[in-house]
Each structure stands twice: as structure tokens, then as C-alpha cells.
Amino acid sequence: MAIFNVTSETINQAANCLKKGGLVAFPTETVYGLGADARNAEAVKRIFAAKKRPENHPLIVHLANIEQLSDWAKDIPDAAFKLAQHFCPAPLALILKKRPEVDYAVTGGQDTIALRVPNHPVALELLRKFGDGIAAPSANRFCRISPTRAQHVADELGDDVEMILDGGACQIGVESTIIDLSGSVPMLLRFGQITRRELEAVLQTQILIPDAIVQSNVRTAGMMEVHYAPTTKAVRCENAVLNEFIKTESQKIGVLACGSKISATKNCKIFTLPSDPVAYAQGLYATLRELDGLKIDLILVEQPPQNEAWQAINDRLSKATHYVESIIDD
Ligand code: TXA
Ligand code: MG
């Protein structure tokens, strides 16, 4: 087992492992990342192999501080410095034009690069010890649920990663907000804890959300049809539909409730996450993993509220489950 408790010694060991081209999984405030030396194309290729992720799917490069942005990006607009100074370290990734020497292995062949200064003491310590950018996607297999505990990484990637630094449960639980500042208008590419409104308040300008991103050449986070998905069939519905269905159902069902009380029946196991979006997000992926491990026929997710505070959660749920108005047994 490659899980290590965090000490200054194991962080040094992890930094050395990265320098030698190894893979190190480490905690961030959002989800666990699968790290490699972002200047080492061979090491970066090992990330894609371990995740079974297509090589045209770009990675986020993690940095210890915002001064390092210019080591990786060129023509950085004022908007990027404004956001970086206001939020970082933060669950926010900035897409900027890449410097010419940055290898296309990291950017999936694109001329832009995603950069992020994570707000987590272990990640920051590792980045400082390592001294340069660490490329790190979420430490899960391609299209599966992101890990929010060290054990999730071990379960999924096992021996494909040299070290897993155990920083406990991730505080935020869903991936960072991604904003693209490489074009003429800022675009929000992924919803996260930092909302569009908060970003707009700092930039004093409108941020667009591309609706045709799926058809474009840019392959971005969670914009694919299937993403963040459990292997068990999973649907999402309103509370009333859910309650009606489980009363009579004979299949083995797992329910993910949002705050509300749902009475368990013989074939049905209930998991309840808090009705507060911050606490719900923290527990979401771990609970989906647990439900997925139950060997049941169906996962039913109660539809949470649909306002901005729930936007990142609803975005991930819409990738993991299908919304249904009624449930018809098949
Ligand atoms: O919270 C997070 O961002 C976590 C932690 C580990 O930092 N990382 C993460 O990485 O979620 P990943 O690779 O699972 O998702 C990053 C997304 C990718 O889906 C990728 O498509 C998008 O960022 N991305 C990276 N570079 C891009 C670029 N140049 N243009 C557009 N999208 C980009
Ligand atoms: Mg991911």
C-alpha cells in the first residue's frame, strides 16, 4: 500500500519522487490530484496511462504561488492578476496562453495552459519543496468519480502511483472553478465553489458560459456526456417521486437524500447529506463511491435545490445521473 502519513520527511520523499519522474497523489482543498513533474513529458505521459485518459485532454499545472504564473504563461491579462491576487491560493484554475517551451504533453496539444495555486497546506508544502509546477488531474480513472480521500486513490489507482500523501478528507469536495482568460472575453469552463458572480464582482465584467463547448475542439472538464459517473445505474428525481417509488420497489436501491428524511424500506439503503451546499459538496463523492460499492441495482439521488449556491453540485450530479420525472420499472 502506497499511502503515506504527512510528515516533512514524506513530503521531501514525494518531492524527490516527482523529480525522478514518479507519480505522487496528494490532497488539495477540492479533490486529490495525481501529480507529476510538469516539465517532464515522460512523467506527464505516465499520468495519462495511469488514468487511462486520452492524451488530448489537458492537465492543470499546480503552482506554489502566483509569482510562478509567468513561468508557464505568456501575455497574461490584467484580469488574471486581479483574480489571482484576490482569490489565490484557491479552488480556481486560470486558462492562459502557454509559454512556447511548455510541452504540449501537459496541455493536450493546446496553446493554452490551466494554472492553479491550491489552498491546501500539504499541496503547498509539496509544491514549495518541489520548486516548480506539478501537473495534476484528479486522481481517478478517466470518467470516474474524483477521489476525496487517500483511500479512494489507493482503491482506484493502486500500484500505478508511487506515493499517496494522506491529507484526510478534502474540505471542498468538488473540483475547482475553471475560467478561460486566453481569449477576448472571459469564459467559465467549469462550475466550482467560487461562483461566476464572485468572479464577475472582482473583474467588473461579464463572464460567458459557452454552451457549444461539447462540439468545439477544446475538451474541457465535465463537459463530456459521461463524467464523474458511478458504475451502478443512477437517476435523479424530486423527493415526491423518490418516496413514491421506494414504497413499492423490489430492486435493491441506494438513496442519496438531500437533507430530507426518507424512510428506509427493506430493499432500500438511505444516505443523507446535509441541505447546506458546502457540507453536501464535501460528502458528495465519498457517498457516491459508497453507494456504488453496495452492489445494488439502482442509485436514486434526490434533486437538490437549483440555485447558484448549488450550481457546482448540480453540474456534477447531471454528469453522474440522469434526471427523471417518474421512475418506470424495467
Ligand atoms: O480541483 C481541481 O482542479 C483538481 C485538483 C486536483 O486540482 N484537478 C482537476 O483536474 O480537476 P482534471 O484534470 O480532472 O480537470 C481539469 C480540467 C480538465 O478536464 C481539462 O479539460 C481542463 O481542466 N483544462 C485543462 N487545461 C485546459 C485548457 N488549456 N483549456 C481548456 N480546459 C483545460
Ligand atoms: Mg477529473
Specify the DSSP element, H or E, that contains 277: helix 277-292
Decide: 153 and 161 in contact? Cβ < 8 Å. yes
Mean pLDDT estimate for the chain: 92
Name the closest-CA residue to atom 12, ligand 1: 137
What are the CA-CA distances from residue 114 to residues 80, 108, 189 (Å)?
Answer: 12, 11, 11
Cell of 179: 475560467
Q: CA 230 to CA 295: how far, in whole Å?
A: 11
Reported as a pLDDT band with limits 50, 70 and 90, residue 329 is low
Residues 115-125 pLDDT 10s: 999 999 999 99
Beta-bridged to residue 56, according to DSSP, are none
Please give the residue that has the higher pLDDT: either 246 or 216: 246
Q: Which of 47, 60, 149, 214 to mutate to test the pocket of ligand 1 (most atoms within 8 A of CB)?
A: 60
Domain residues of the chain, as ranges? 3-203, 234-329
Q: What is the pLDDT of residue 212?
A: 46
Strand partners, 177: 92
Residues 6+ apart with CB under 8 A from 294: 232, 252, 254, 269
Least confident window among 69-78, 100-109, 176-185, 234-243: 234-243
Q: Distance from the CA of 192 to the center of ligand 2, in angstroms?
A: 13
Q: In what order do the strands lie in the sheet with 234-237?
A: 268-273, 253-258, 298-302, 234-237, 322-323
SS3 at position 253: strand
Q: Is it true that 3-203 and 234-329 share their CATH fold? A: no
C-alpha cell at 136: 495534476
Question: What's the 137 CA to ligand 1 centre distance in angstroms?
Answer: 6
Ligand 1 centroid to residue 7 C-alpha, Å: 28
Confidence check: pLDDT of 278 > 80: yes
Cell representation of residue 314: 448540480
Q: Is 144's pLDDT higher than 50?
A: yes
234-329 carries CATH number 3.40.50.11030 = yes
Instruction: For strands 3-5 and 163-166, give the pairing.
Output: parallel
Pocket of ligand 1 (CB under 6 A): 28, 30-31, 33, 57-60, 91, 93, 95, 107, 110, 112-114, 116, 118, 136-138, 175-176, 178, 189, 218-221
Single-letter amino acid, residue 27: P
DSSP 221: T
Copy the grid coordinates of residue 59.
492537465
Considering only CA atoms, which residue is closest to atom 31 of ligand 1? 220
264 confidence band (pLDDT: 50, 70, 90):
confident
| Residue 214 pLDDT greater than 50, yes or no | no
What is the 50 CA–ligand 2 centroid distance (Å)?
13
* Residue 164 near residue 13, CB atoms below 8 Å: no
Q: How confident is the model at residue 102 (pLDDT cuts 50, 70, 90)?
A: very high
CB neighbour list of residue 140: distance below 8 Å, 6 or more residues apart: 51, 146, 147, 152, 153, 156, 157
One-letter amino acid for residue 181 of the chain: L
Q: What percent of the chain has pLDDT over 90?
A: 82
Ligand having the closest approach to the CA of 141: 2
Q: How far apart are CA 248 and CA 265, in angstroms?
A: 9
Q: Is the CATH number 3.90.870.10 carried by domain 3-203?
A: yes
Q: Which residues surround ligand 2, an ion (CB under 5 A)?
A: 138
Sorted by sequence, the CB contacts under 8 Å of residue 151 that are 6+ apart come out as 3
Instruction: Flag whether pLDDT at 34 surpasses 50.
Output: yes
92-98 average pLDDT score: 98
Lowest mean pLDDT segment, chosen from 108-112, 128-132, 265-269:
265-269
Which among 97, 153, 178, 194 is the best mutation to test ligand 1's pocket, defined by most ligand atoms within 8 Å of the CB?
A: 178
User: Of the given ranges (153-162, 180-189, 242-251), which has the lowest mean pLDDT?
Assistant: 242-251
Of 32, 61, 220, 315, best ligand 1 pocket probe by most atoms within 8 Å of the beta carbon: 220
pLDDT tier, 213 (very low <50, low <70, confident <90, very high otherwise):
very low
Ligand nearest to the CA of 62: 1
